Structure 1
Amino acid sequence: MIQRTFSIRDAKDMRAMAMAIRREPLFQSAEGKLLLCLTPGSLQEMIRKELAPLSEEFPDLSIAGMTLLGPLSEEMKLPEDAQISLFLFEKSRVRVSVYDCTDTTPSAVGDTFLSDVQGIPDLQGIFLSSARQSMDPSPFVEKVSAALPNVPLFGAQAGASTSAGDDSLVFTGTKAFRKGILTACFYGKNLHLFAKSCFGWTSLGRSHEVTKTAPGRILTIDQHPAAELYTRYLHILPGQKFYQNSCAFPLIETIGGMPVARVPYRSYDDGSIALYQVPKEGTKVTLAYSKKGSLLATSRECAKDLALFQPEALLVIYCLNRVTLMTDQDPEEELSFYEKVCPCLCCTHGSSEIYRKNDAGGVMNSTLVCVGFRERQAKGSPKALPFEETAEDDWDSLPVTDRLVTFLEETTKELRGTIERLGEIAVSDQLTGIANRRKLHEVIERDLDEGRSISVLMIDIDFFKRINDTCGHQEGDQVLIRLTHLVQEKIRKSDLFARWGGEEFVGVFEETSIEDTEALAERIRKAVEEYDFGKAGRVTVSIGVTNSCPEDTIDALFASLDETLYEAKRTGRNRVCVLRRG
């Protein structure tokens, strides 16, 4: 396969490109032909007009296009030309489709798309773009990814020329939509894809909860107006400059183990903030920042992996928020890593980046996505990488701001580690190391709320006070610890075993019959009776067993458990008693 990328400024450039395409030796024999058009809004009409005769002349040439996002601020300078990239596949194919979303939803389009691609053999990847910035393509992405989890989805939301309006557009050779979804499916046995997202941002401070949302907005975070998060921690005030000041500090959530950034582009008088993709209520988010050296370092590592793949064609989708953080020539330096791997690459930027595979990722901001294509077999590992190895940072000349960010990153890590340890202490029994009464209540309440069937048992050590009185409290503690180990050897890792208090313990077993729990209780009773507790001598236990029932409460469940344990002790101890409920 080959890739040819053209820079377009006017109709003359378009005609020169058309002539070059006609003269391309592989063009006539190629099995798959794609013309990917990435254009500023100011050039889209001219480009579509010039593409029309080319589309008529070559009906087997697939055309897919999107408009680019304009500058984020008056100071930002972006290239004024369009990039049009020709992909020619010798043995693989491309299928381009565009869907009008004027009277339907992205989720419904997802169903239509999945029906359309059913039966396509050897699907390797899907390029995706959507127009109408207020239309979140996430439902489409999630639906398609759930049905095709091993197929990477990648692309960008089409961008508007300015923040004052929305002139975003997706188009093919014959159709264009202001509110639509465009796809390009790449398939074939000989086609290999390398798709990867590059991040480089670090969460700062504690996590916050998205507590109330509306279409296109977060209304409150931690029950306070959302914009207050930026005012409190960053002294960013609502107003006309909110976007310029906040875009370098994305909100981060985690989807499928992958960090996903969201950037607010506007604030309102009521304290709400607008985003192109709004997290669901209850989502945990953190503020994030990065050093330009970190962004470059993560991109360099990604480019190294890409070089080992040895692509024949390359698509790079990057976020202008990365450009906002960098200064001077750093944005060009980041893209130069990929240009050295594949000089004919094409680059695009929209209002959001898209990358999802195996339920990780989604529609995001502040990210770079690279997709390499190859039909031939890789020829071993490259002898030398196409760029020099350099240190991530020159520590002797770091700016003060970078040193402050490093300080914040490290103190954040230490704080989170402390919080995690405190969290573990709060739900753990300090003597035995197993769950405590608080954790036990949390798990049982969750199970009952979710309607999950559970069986429970309660263990009480017979005459434990006698052991403490005759052997001492230290020996009594050893009995509790050894009993814990004995029980843990008998139960599954998924079961919960907790200390209720004193010499009483409780086990919780999800989706387990009361008969199985009774049998387990008997094995535990027998194991304790036969175990040598040393100085404490012979130890026995009484065990009560019961089960949950529909519309149960935790108080009713423990009342039944107490009753059956009391019965075991009343009738002679060292025995198991069962109360079947419901």
Structure 2
Amino acid sequence: MIKDFPIEIIDQILEDIHVGLTLVGTDGKILWFNKLATELLGWDEQQTNSVLKCHKQEMHQQIIHKINNCKLKREWHRTIKIKGRIIENTYSPICIPERISGVMIITRDVTEREQMYQVIKKAAITDALTGLYNRKFLDQICADFASEEKPFGVMMLDINGLKYVNDHYGHEAGDQLIIKAANIIRSNVRQSDYVFRFGGDEFLVLLPEIKTDVLNKIKQRIKEQNQLPSNEQPTNLYLSVGVCSSSEFNRIQDVISCADKEMYADKHRFYENEGKALLSR
């Protein structure tokens, strides 16, 4: 065993494995830190550093208490953002009799990991084609809405004539129609609303804390952008829309069912009137 291992070698090893190391005394003052810890946490060799500067004032007493209970051998973790980087700190108790008592902070730059996590998280709840929320995420949001018991509205929308476009102009043209519908819906609802791709050509919007008149105004805004498909413009977008408010039903599934029925009634009216020619194509 090498008794007097040069501290420079230890510092180099820690830097090579991308680990910052800080030793903290029981009063929160920094006893030692390596080069990478300086870079990641901003310690200053010319000043007296304290771990407390990384925490809010109201947390100081709790931090000191944790540091002074190092014999419990419990680690704790904290992730912070410094200068655009995401830094993960692992606080690990250290107690060497007559040498040091406190904690050591093991620091890593986890920016890439966290960014990848956000990409994966977003992919899990969004529709790949439109970027809207997917059906799986709808179940989670519905549960949240049910537990909060706050007023909300539901809007159901369906693209008329998508099958004809797919059959005669290809699925790429159909996909463009779906994307166009998603963009129109998203641009006409509020920022606080949740827009989902409910099915192949169906969309659902959950609108929290909305009055019935506002819900109908949003519906009207979207319908005003409808363009009737024709022989000259067969890929024009025409949406059937139905809305319903939680003031009419207690259960969220009943509100969705109500909006769905109104949307299909709107679709039926469309094919009975201006869209009648589409049925004979």
The TM-score with structure 1 as length reference comes to 0.31
Say if 2:156 and 2:202, in contact at 8 Å, map to a contact too. Answer: yes
Residues 474 and 326 (structure 1), Cα distance of their counterparts in 2 relative to 1, 3 Å cut: closer
Structure 1: distance between partners of 2:190 and 2:132: 14
Question: How far does the alpha carbon of each residue in 1:127-157 deviate from its partner, in whole angstroms, 9 at most, with x for none?
Answer: xxxxxxxxxxxxxxxxxxxxxxxxxxxxxxx
Structure 2: distance between partners of 1:337 and 1:449: 51
Structure 2: distance between partners of 1:354 and 1:418: 25
Structure 1: distance between partners of 2:44 and 2:160: 70
Structure 1: distance between partners of 2:212 and 2:145: 16
Matches within 5 A, 1:131-210: none
Higher Rg of the two aligned structures: 1
What is residue 255 of structure 2 aligned with on the other side? 557
Give how far 1:558 is off.
2.1
Say if 1:499 and 1:506, in contact at 8 Å, map to a contact too. Answer: yes
Structure 2: distance between partners of 1:460 and 1:437: 15
Give how far 1:489 is off.
2.1
Say if 1:543 and 1:568, in contact at 8 Å, map to a contact too. Answer: yes
Which protein is richer in helix relative to its size? 2
Matches within 5 A, 1:287-306: 290-292=20-22
2:236 aligns with one of 524, 527, 538: 538
Say if 1:292 and 1:326, in contact at 8 Å, map to a contact too. Answer: yes
Structure 2: distance between partners of 1:446 and 1:511: 13
Secondary structure at the aligned position of 1:455 is classed as strand
Which protein is richer in strand relative to its size? 1
- Count residues in correspondence: 205
Secondary structure at the aligned position of 2:270 is classed as coil
Secondary structure at the aligned position of 2:227 is classed as helix
Secondary structure at the aligned position of 1:558 is classed as helix
Give how far 1:364 is off.
3.6
Structure 2: distance between partners of 1:494 and 1:531: 32
Could you list the runs of 5+ residues in structure 2 that have no partner in the other structure?
A: 1-18, 35-42, 66-105, 274-281
* 2:189 equivalent to 1:480: no
Secondary structure at the aligned position of 1:572 is classed as helix
Say if 2:153 and 2:246, in contact at 8 Å, map to a contact too. Answer: yes
What is residue 428 of structure 1 aligned with on the other side? 126
Identity of aligned residues (%): 21
Residues 531 and 335 (structure 1), Cα distance of their counterparts in 2 relative to 1, 3 Å cut: farther
2:145 aligns with one of 447, 450, 474: 447
Residues 452 and 290 (structure 1), Cα distance of their counterparts in 2 relative to 1, 3 Å cut: farther
What is residue 491 of structure 1 aligned with on the other side? 189
Secondary structure at the aligned position of 1:292 is classed as strand
Structure 1: distance between partners of 2:272 and 2:143: 30
Structure 2: distance between partners of 1:551 and 1:515: 17
Question: How far does the alpha carbon of each residue in 1:492-538 deviate from its partner, in whole angstroms, 9 at most, with x for none?
Answer: 22222111110101112111112211121121012122799x96433
Could you list the runs of 5+ residues in structure 1 that have no partner in the other structure?
A: 1-288, 296-316, 328-332, 340-346, 368-404, 576-582
Structure 1 residue identity aligned to 2:21: K
2:28 aligns with one of 316, 319, 323: 319
Secondary structure at the aligned position of 1:458 is classed as strand
1:468 aligns with one of 161, 166, 179: 166
Residues 477 and 363 (structure 1), Cα distance of their counterparts in 2 relative to 1, 3 Å cut: farther
Structure 2 residue identity aligned to 1:417: Q
Structure 2: distance between partners of 1:574 and 1:495: 32
Say if 2:154 and 2:256, in contact at 8 Å, map to a contact too. Answer: no
Structure 2: distance between partners of 1:510 and 1:472: 37
What is residue 210 of structure 2 aligned with on the other side? 512
Residues 326 and 520 (structure 1), Cα distance of their counterparts in 2 relative to 1, 3 Å cut: closer
Structure 2: distance between partners of 1:573 and 1:453: 33
Structure 2: distance between partners of 1:417 and 1:498: 24
Matches within 5 A, 1:83-102: none
Larger RCO (CA within 8 A; separation ≥ 6): 2
Matches within 5 A, 1:371-450: 409-410=108-109, 412-450=110-148
Structure 2: distance between partners of 1:338 and 1:569: 72
Residues 355 and 436 (structure 1), Cα distance of their counterparts in 2 relative to 1, 3 Å cut: closer
Residues 490 and 365 (structure 1), Cα distance of their counterparts in 2 relative to 1, 3 Å cut: same
Give how far 1:449 is off.
0.9
Question: How far does the alpha carbon of each residue in 1:164-183 deviate from its partner, in whole angstroms, 9 at most, with x for none?
Answer: xxxxxxxxxxxxxxxxxxxx
1:548 aligns with one of 226, 229, 246: 246
Structure 2: distance between partners of 1:550 and 1:528: 28
Say if 1:353 and 1:364, in contact at 8 Å, map to a contact too. Answer: no
What is residue 337 of structure 1 aligned with on the other side? 47
Question: How far does the alpha carbon of each residue in 1:198-257 deviate from its partner, in whole angstroms, 9 at most, with x for none?
Answer: xxxxxxxxxxxxxxxxxxxxxxxxxxxxxxxxxxxxxxxxxxxxxxxxxxxxxxxxxxxx
Say if 2:242 and 2:262, in contact at 8 Å, map to a contact too. Answer: yes
What is residue 12 of structure 2 aligned with on the other side? none
What is residue 503 of structure 1 aligned with on the other side? 201
RMSD over aligned CA atoms reads 3.9
Matches within 5 A, 1:347-362: 356=56
Say if 1:456 and 1:546, in contact at 8 Å, map to a contact too. Answer: yes
Say if 2:151 and 2:208, in contact at 8 Å, map to a contact too. Answer: yes
Structure 1: distance between partners of 2:61 and 2:253: 44
Structure 1 residue identity aligned to 2:47: F
Residues 574 and 543 (structure 1), Cα distance of their counterparts in 2 relative to 1, 3 Å cut: farther
Residues 504 and 551 (structure 1), Cα distance of their counterparts in 2 relative to 1, 3 Å cut: closer
Residues 414 and 493 (structure 1), Cα distance of their counterparts in 2 relative to 1, 3 Å cut: same
